[in-house]
Structure 1
Amino acid sequence: MFRNAPWLVLLFYCIFLMPYSITISGVAYNVPSWLRATLGFSVPVAANFSEIVRGAIGSIPKGQWEAAEALGYSRSVTLFRIILPQCITRMLPPWMNLYALLITATPLASIVGVEEALARTQAAVQSEAQASFLIPMYVTLLVMFFLYTYPISCISNAIERRFRTV
């Protein structure tokens, strides 16, 4: 259900339906909007993450499970020592893609009032009220996103090369 739900809808639910404060032992604690937004993003990411794991496990030939059973391995030992190590190479590219999608989706939080990079850039552009700042500010933001996601892509490629089978 959460994997196919729009991220913005889940974000709205978490921002507006979660309590703004929680009382524990008579002490009220405020729940900051960034924490509610983080939970809003965590729900679809966790659902997609688990679907990636499920798909990778399902892609391992049934003969691997049968061979481990024939050798007397328990189901949990088979999963953690035989199946999951083979799944790493299959799960890594979609995990990195999901992480990059999450990073590029964070500006959605500005729609519900959470301060983040896009909202701060918009505020800076509006405060100066000069059209000449518009392009440089957004190019700077684009460069910041690139500088954050490009190393992730490089690391992902390096890890994929390391685990690549011939």
Structure 2
Amino acid sequence: MSNEYKNILVAIDLSEDSRLVLQRAKEIAARNQQAKVSVVHTLEPLGFAYGGDIPMDLTSIQEQLDDHARKRMDELLGEFEIPEENRHILVGMPDSETHRLAEEHQVDLIVVGSHGRHGLQLLLGSVSSGVLHGAPCDVLAVRVGKNK
């Protein structure tokens, strides 16, 4: 089998659909001489989510969100044998943080979930579409959700 991919980055949203995305990435890794698999989940900064012009300290809430994301990631990754050093929780914009991490770690494939939206929803964009545009490597969008 081909050894085209050596370093795979899986961008997940921590939903149940993430299991399907992770499974697909692990299958690809197995077909590519057990390519390295890393996982990233990006939390948007609370300032972005809540307008940024509210004068309040959101540090403790951001820390709670980070802790919750780490626990959820541990639950999801338990069956996939992803080492701790290959698990990343970042704060920022999901597409740009995924691109940055992919470049830093010389990733040759990014795997994301996609709900396969059409029309106006597609034009307005989504995280998977944002990751696709400007990615430094190949991107595989795995169909998830009701329209699989």
Structure of greater relative contact order (alpha carbons < 8 Å, 6+ residues apart): 2
Q: TM-score range by the shorter chain?
A: 0.3 to 0.5
Give the TM-score of the pair, scaled to structure 2: 0.34
Higher normalized helix content (fraction of residues) = 1
The structure with the largest alpha-carbon Rg is 1
Q: Which has the higher strand share?
A: 2
TM (norm. structure 1) is 0.31
